[in-house]
Amino acid sequence: MSWFHLKHDLKTSLWVVPLLFMVAAAGLNLLTVQLDPRGELVPQSISGDASAASQMLYLIAFSMLTLTGLVLSLVVVVVQLAMGSFSPRIVRQILQDRPSQCAVGLFAGTFIHAILTMRVVRSDRGPVVPGLAVLVTIGLGMACMITLVWYINYIGQSLRAAALVGWVAKDTIRSLDRNYPPDPDAETDDPQVIPAPRGGVIFAIDHDRLVQLARRAGVRLELLWSTGDYVPEGGDLVRIHGDPAGVARSAVARCINVGPERTLNQDVAYGLRMLVDIGARTLSAGPFEDPTTAVQAIDRIHEVLRRIVQRPLHDGRYLDDDGEVRLVVPTIQWPGYVRIAFDELRQAGAASPQVVRRLRAALDDLLAIAPEDRRPPLVQQLELLDQLSQRDAQTGFDAEAVKVPDRSGIGSADELTRTDP
């Protein structure tokens, strides 16, 4: 085996780091036992007598063995989910995840340390309690409990699509920089543009601070990306209209917070996006896979749009105290919210009478309360819904039935609930 293959295997194997932790734990045990073989450094009031120390060490060793198995099981679950939901080729990135390897190593190392300390504790022929080794084992056990809580949160975060995609992207960028280093003679950045210091999704913008910075420099700032957009590292982030000399560029960049994925901090559209994803996913295998869940998602989408339709939306221009525009930010408007809410569900559920009738009920209700200037996008969606549902209708009766608005799909329409007096 060549040196490259050996180094590659060691780098990408799950067992190497845990093995190093276990070897280090064994060495630490030998050191602590040698430093305090009879408990002279640590009194028995802290480490306990031989019986108590043995019982405590046994419990720690047993717990660490269980925790090691738990962490390995969680890694296996993550691998299975990633293979099923994303790609089998992502397994290597998961197995070489350093935090997971260190967690396994800490638990296994604590187990080794506790077992080796137990062999030194004696209760016959004069009690012997290596106090320092017992104290270190207790400290390692407490560290393991803290690590366990942290690791459960970490592994839960790692199951997100953004985290798994991010792992692959970071490894790819590292390989790119190693094989194709950047050109040192490349052109310098445009002085009128502030680049993004790191890549990520914009999830929060400090508008007030940006207005203050723009007013202080006597310029107008234009944010080139909207909340929820992914900005690549080094990409144009903010354009300066005016003299850029007085602009605190790093301070401007810090006002725009980016992260691995979208959040609901300032991104209302993301909430609609998630509801649409839920509804569309239930229809992904066909319009009759789970239309009831899709209707439940439409219920909430309808409720959100009902709150938006009559509210004033920001035009993306932010003024200073003198009424001068200092910041311009791309901002989603009413037609954008309507398209996010209805486009995909309309296309995915056009063949489902339940989904079509619920969408029609939502659009009719929104049209009834929408101001005149916000009606056109709703009318357009209703016309498109008619076209798709009529195309997919199997019979003339079905074509007429899907024209009936129904707040629960098929169940609360007037034709089903109205009775003659």
Nearest to 239 by CA among 210, 198, 200: 210
Q: Say whether pLDDT at 1 is over 60.
A: no
Please report which helix (H) or strand (E) contains residue 41, including its range.
none
The residue whose two tokens read 């030194």 is 120
Residue 78 has a pLDDT of: 75
Average pLDDT for 319-331: 92
Angle at 14 (CA atoms; ends 82, 71), nearest 5 degrees: 70
Distance from C-alpha of 271 to C-alpha of 289, rounded to nearest angstrom: 24
- Backbone angles phi and psi of 268, in degrees to 5: -65, -35
What are 130-156's pLDDT values in tens digits? 888 888 999 999 999 999 999 888 887
Q: What is each CA distance from 65 to 122, 252, 302, in whole angstroms?
A: 23, 50, 51
Residue 187 has a pLDDT of: 63
Q: Say whether pLDDT at 48 is over 90.
A: no
Distance from C-alpha of 202 to C-alpha of 231, rounded to nearest angstrom: 7
Question: Which parts of 283-333 fold into alpha helices (H)?
Answer: 291-308
Q: Say whether pLDDT at 82 is over 80.
A: no
Amino acid found at 264: L
Please report which helix (H) or strand (E) contains residue 318, including its range.
strand 317-319
Q: Which residue has the higher pLDDT, 393 or 415?
A: 393
What confidence tier does 28 reach under pLDDT thresholds 50, 70, 90? Answer: very high
Beta-strand pair 193-195/236-241: antiparallel
Q: Which residues contact 199 (CB under 8 A, 6 or more apart)?
A: 230, 231, 232, 233, 235, 258
Residue 254 has a pLDDT of: 94
Distance from C-alpha of 165 to C-alpha of 199, rounded to nearest angstrom: 13
What are 173-220's pLDDT values in tens digits? 888 888 888 877 666 678 899 999 999 999 999 999 999 999 999 999
Distance from C-alpha of 184 to C-alpha of 152, rounded to nearest angstrom: 43
The DSSP bridge partners found for residue 258 are: 202
- Backbone angles phi and psi of 193, in degrees to 5: -125, 135
Q: Where are the beta strands (DSSP E) in 178-280?
A: 193-195, 200-205, 220-223, 230-231, 236-241, 256-259
What are 329-343's pLDDT values in tens digits? 999 999 999 999 999
Is the separation of the CB atoms in 402 and 357 below 8 Å? yes
19-23, 55-59, 408-412: segment of lowest average pLDDT: 408-412
Q: Which residues contact 127 (CB under 8 A, 6 or more apart)?
A: 49, 50
What confidence tier does 12 reach under pLDDT thresholds 50, 70, 90? Answer: low
Distance from C-alpha of 343 to C-alpha of 363, rounded to nearest angstrom: 12
Q: Say whether pLDDT at 76 is over 90.
A: no
Two structure tokens written together for 400: 């007429």
Residue 170 has a pLDDT of: 83
Round the average pLDDT of the chain to a whole number and report it: 87
Terminal CA-CA length for the chain: 89
Domains in the chain with CATH codes: 3-175 (no CATH), 193-259 (3.90.1170.30), 268-311+332-417 (no CATH)
Residue 345 has a pLDDT of: 94
What confidence tier does 2 reach under pLDDT thresholds 50, 70, 90? Answer: low
Nearest to 78 by CA among 155, 16, 150, 165: 155
Average pLDDT for 97-113: 90
Q: Say whether pLDDT at 372 is over 90.
A: yes
Residue 324 has a pLDDT of: 92
Average pLDDT for 103-123: 89
Average pLDDT for 295-316: 94
Residue 126 has a pLDDT of: 57
Is the separation of the CB atoms in 358 and 406 below 8 Å? yes
What confidence tier does 418 reach under pLDDT thresholds 50, 70, 90? Answer: low
Distance from C-alpha of 121 to C-alpha of 29, rounded to nearest angstrom: 13
Q: Say whether pLDDT at 245 is over 80.
A: yes
Residue 153 has a pLDDT of: 86
What confidence tier does 417 reach under pLDDT thresholds 50, 70, 90? Answer: confident
Residue 108 has a pLDDT of: 92
Two structure tokens written together for 29: 């045990």
pLDDT above 70 coverage of the chain, percent: 91
Distance from C-alpha of 88 to C-alpha of 79, rounded to nearest angstrom: 8
Residue 420 has a pLDDT of: 58
What confidence tier does 239 reach under pLDDT thresholds 50, 70, 90? Answer: very high
Residue 403 has a pLDDT of: 86
